[in-house]
Structure 1
């Protein structure tokens, strides 16, 4: 059964969420974690029940300029979730951009370009949000079946994602995983996750 809207997860919820789209301005990207927390507002946690399907409409940053979509769908004993990291400034090059907050916290190169982003931190934040949404939907990371990971740069992003994933993933319930390099629909995002999990009856 799907957990009622607003019901805490079985082990508590991590307060994080992903957000952003390619058409957002740099002013909307005030740091990955800030955007994630903004997208995790209670209004975005409402599972809307329609017959045998429950949906959580995406209401995070960039929702006004993105196609109408659900961030979470629960149906047929399965939970489907999609997440993406905060967008980078428009002028940034693939794998090289940082949010304004991150630029203030990290040194820049002599050419004035920001340092390579912290993919491990981005990955850890998205995985925490994935766990929160799984718990909110009556599931959990042990019930993951498949995860699809899209990295903006495989060369720069894979080591960081691997470190975050290995620290987060349950060793007794590892899902099938697909790793893909590409921008996807959110060209400014450094990382996207698509997850399918069983829902506890």
Structure 2
């Protein structure tokens, strides 16, 4: 079968197709746009990717992905250090912070408890959360986990463990639909859910 482009371009298409929301057809269109705009888009994009790849780190405090440790969120002196919002993934942290409603700190678990997948408390960033909760500075922990079965199971487990620290434990209100994932919700829904959070029994 005749080839319409070189193997290097084919490799680029295959790599782009691995990104969320980009299948093979979208990856081909994106690659073509990059090739057509080599100087204005492709080269600056390649440079940015290399710079980020060289500097990317995981924040030892909260688990956020950034180019500094502590991350820019943890270093921000304007944030309320008495409140920690617990999320499953960095994408959820970015989604909540994009709403500009929550002004406290975050904690990324790195997933949820799942017996089927063999994910227990030791596989998640739970121990460091418990350590942060007992410093005396934190007064509230908001459980902002996805409203899935695993997310709810993890929330109940964390609420039980955090009750020993004496901090107030709340969860997002029902504005977040069951089965919904934070990264796909609009800013208004996220803001409403944060404002209407409730105690976790």
Check whether TM > 0.5: no
Higher strand share: 1
- TM normalised by structure 1 equals 0.33
- TM normalised by structure 2 equals 0.33
**Higher relative contact order (CA closer than 8 Å, sequence separation 6+):** 1
Higher helix share: 2
Q: Which has the larger radius of gyration?
A: 2
